[in-house]
């Protein structure tokens, strides 16, 4: 058996930094990202291709950024609340309750 060999150069995508989807903060250190940031997703199980296209993931660097995206995405998902809508692995109704509690906490702190 004879083998034919040739040298090849292979290019690959490599993550060099992480960017917060709310405030655009950039983190270059993976250890800081994995220890202090949070990645979550949102989706719904509505009818048709719309449900596949509804999946979106977010990286956030702080509780403030998480709360801001949670509130925004809840308003967009409200039309699908009866179709197993989820955000951050929470059912829609639970996420709504959490957002309300966070709003109340923010109002009391102000």
pTM above 0.95, yes or no: no
Q: What is the pLDDT of residue 80?
A: 72
Q: Is residue 1 part of a domain?
A: no
Q: Is 27 within the bounds of a domain? A: yes
Let me know if residue 8 belongs to a domain: no
Is the pLDDT at 39 greater than 80? The verdict is yes
- At 47-98, the pLDDT tens digits run 555 556 678 899 999 999 999 999 999 888 887 766 678 889 898 889 999 9
End-to-end Cα spacing for the chain: 78
The residue whose two tokens read 């690959």 is: 12
3-30 pLDDT, tens digit each: 888 888 989 999 999 999 999 999 999 9
Q: What is the pLDDT of residue 106?
A: 82
Residue 7 lies in a domain: no
Q: Which of 61, 62, 56, 110 is nearest to 88 (CA)?
A: 56
What are the b/e assignments for 51-90, b being 16+ CB within 10 Å?
beebeeebbbbeeebbbebbeebbeebeebeebebbbbeb
The reply to whether 78 falls in a domain is yes
Number of domains in the chain: 1
pLDDT recorded at residue 53: 66
Residue 44: pLDDT band with limits 50, 70, 90: confident
Question: In this structure, is residue 48 part of a structural domain?
Answer: yes
Angle at 94 between CA 56 and CA 19, to 5 degrees: 30
Domain boundaries, position 53: 18-109
Residue 84 lies in a domain: yes
Query: What pLDDT shows up at residue 47?
Result: 59
The answer as to whether 9 is a domain residue is: no
């Amino acid at each position: 058996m004879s083998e034919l060999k040739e040298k090849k150069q292979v290019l690959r995508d490599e993550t060099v930094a992480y960017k917060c989807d709310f405030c655009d903060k950039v983190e270059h250190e993976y250890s800081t990202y994995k220890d202090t940031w949070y990645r979550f997703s949102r989706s719904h199980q509505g009818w048709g291709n719309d449900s596949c296209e509804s999946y979106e993931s977010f990286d956030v660097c702080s509780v403030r950024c998480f709360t801001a995206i949670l509130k925004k995405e809840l308003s967009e998902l409200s039309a699908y609340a009866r179709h197993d809508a989820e955000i951050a692995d929470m059912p829609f109704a639970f996420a709504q309750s959490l957002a309300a509690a966070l709003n109340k906490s923010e109002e009391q702190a102000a």
